[in-house]
Amino acid sequence: MLKKFTLLRSQRTRVFELLQEAELEPAEFSWAKEEIAGDIQVSRLNHRDGMVNEPIPACEADDIGRVLIRLSERVGQELKLDGEAVALLCGKFAYLAESARRQRCRDWLYTAAGVCATTAMSLSLSPPGTTALWGLLQSEVRRVLHPTAVPPEARADR
């Protein structure tokens, strides 16, 4: 059985650019014809908010986990949380890191917004503290996921 590999979005974009630079028409390749002919996943057709709900590649999920570990320490320092609050935050972020391995991109972002909200409630954060928590989470994870992947209704800068 062949192993299935998934290209990162940046890699797919680069392949497309290389084909164009070589003056080749990407739509003429057999793999493109198959996809255009109807073998397109329904989740890829939902571009309403500019974000495709693709699976998160394993390497990106690993990066998200590392980012969340660093972020829990940073949030604890910036929001001046005590040890018990930091432990709660670490538990919430561990759940979020694990969910990145099994959810699709948009689904995970909505989970992240929910985890942020429940964490803010559990820690009794003020509205500015909640905004700071979401802003930190959003800015750190944005470096891993596609920059346009954060849904407009979940942005802290609204």
pLDDT in tens, 92-129: 999 999 999 999 988 998 899 899 999 999 999 888 88
Residue 56: predicted pLDDT:
87
Residues of the chain with pLDDT under 50: 34, 36-49, 147-158
Q: Where are the domains of the chain?
A: 58-154
Residue 103: predicted pLDDT:
92
* Other beta carbons within 10 Å of 68: 26
The verdict on pTM exceeding 0.85 is no
Residue 55: predicted pLDDT:
87
Residue 145: predicted pLDDT:
63
Spatial distance between the Cα atoms of 66 and 136, rounded to a whole number of angstroms: 14
Residue 77's alpha-carbon distances to 23, 65, 71, 83, 99, in angstroms, are 52, 19, 10, 11, 25
Q: What is the mean pLDDT of the chain?
A: 76
Residue 29: predicted pLDDT:
66
